[in-house]
Structures are given as structure tokens and as C-alpha cells.
Amino acid sequence: GENVEQHPSTLSVQEGDSAVIKCTYSDSASNYFPWYKQELGKRPQLIIDIRSNVGEKKDQRIAVTLNKTAKHFSLHITETQPEDSAVYFCAASRVDSSYKLIFGSGTRLLVRP
């Protein structure tokens, strides 16, 4: 069935360094890929998304890249700050079942001051 794998499960970086989180999806018909940030005990919030007609999207310090051939997409955070510490989830959905976001298992990012 549809599946999204996310790695790593935990990531610790020094403040100012970059962080990269990778996701692989199984359904080749997937074409919408959002990323959510969830702080401890809080709701997930969308930080960036990408659609299959583009290979990269950037918003200030965060960027997402998509490789449809390899069926993987990645979140890149540059110049990390302590407030970036949170759990990050990737997700994927396909055009004919848009309601159904398949989530990865999450990456806990810790940015050390």
C-alpha cells in the first residue's frame, strides 16, 4: 500500500549548521508533498509544500527538493536556530485522493545553541 518513509528519526545539529531530512514515497502517482513542523504538545503547522511539476521550492531558510524518478523529497534548513527544534513530518498525496495525506513517522530535530 501507500507508504512514506522518513529519515533520520532524530537529528542533532549545532546552531548555524544545516539540517536535511529525507522522505521516500511508494506511490508513483503522488504529486503533492507538504512538510509540517510540530513543536512539543502543539499542533502540526505547514512550513512548505511542493508539487510534482517543480523540482525545488525555497522560502527563506527552508527549501524542499523533489526527485520524482527516485520518488524521494527532502527538507533543507539552513542556518539553523534553536527555535527550529521540533518534530518535522513529511507527507504525500495523489491527485485522485487528495484528502488522504500519508505521513512519514517524523524527525525530531534538536538544534544545540
Partner 1 sequence: DGGITQSPKYLFRKEGQNVTLSCEQNLNHDAMYWYRQDPGQGLRLIYYSQIVNDFQKGDIAEGYSVSREKKESFPLTVTSAQKNPTAFYLCASSTSGLHGETQYFGPGTRLLVL
Please name the residue ranges forming H helices in 23-76: none
Compute the distance between CA of residue 38 and CA of residue 86 in angstroms, rounded to an integer. Answer: 6
Q: Is 103 in the site for partner 1 (CB under 8 A)?
A: yes
* Site map (CB under 8 A) of partner 1, residues 6-25, x = contact: x--x----------------
Whose CA is closest to 3, among 65, 107, 109, 94? Answer: 94
CA distances (Å), origin 112, targets 16, 41, 82, 101: 9, 20, 6, 31
Q: Is 93 in the site for partner 1 (CB under 8 A)?
A: yes
Contacting range for partner 1; rule: CB under 8 A; set: 12-20, 46-54, 61-69, 75-83: 46-54
Q: Is 112 in the site for partner 1 (CB under 8 A)?
A: no
CA distances (Å), origin 62, targets 57, 74, 80: 9, 10, 10
Cell matching residue 54:
517543480
CB of 78 to partner 1, least distance (A): 23
* Site map (CB under 8 A) of partner 1, residues 73-92, x = contact: ----------------x-x-
The residue ranges that bind partner 1 (CB under 8 A) are 4, 6, 9, 31-32, 34, 36, 41-46, 49, 51, 89, 91, 93, 95-96, 98-101, 103-106
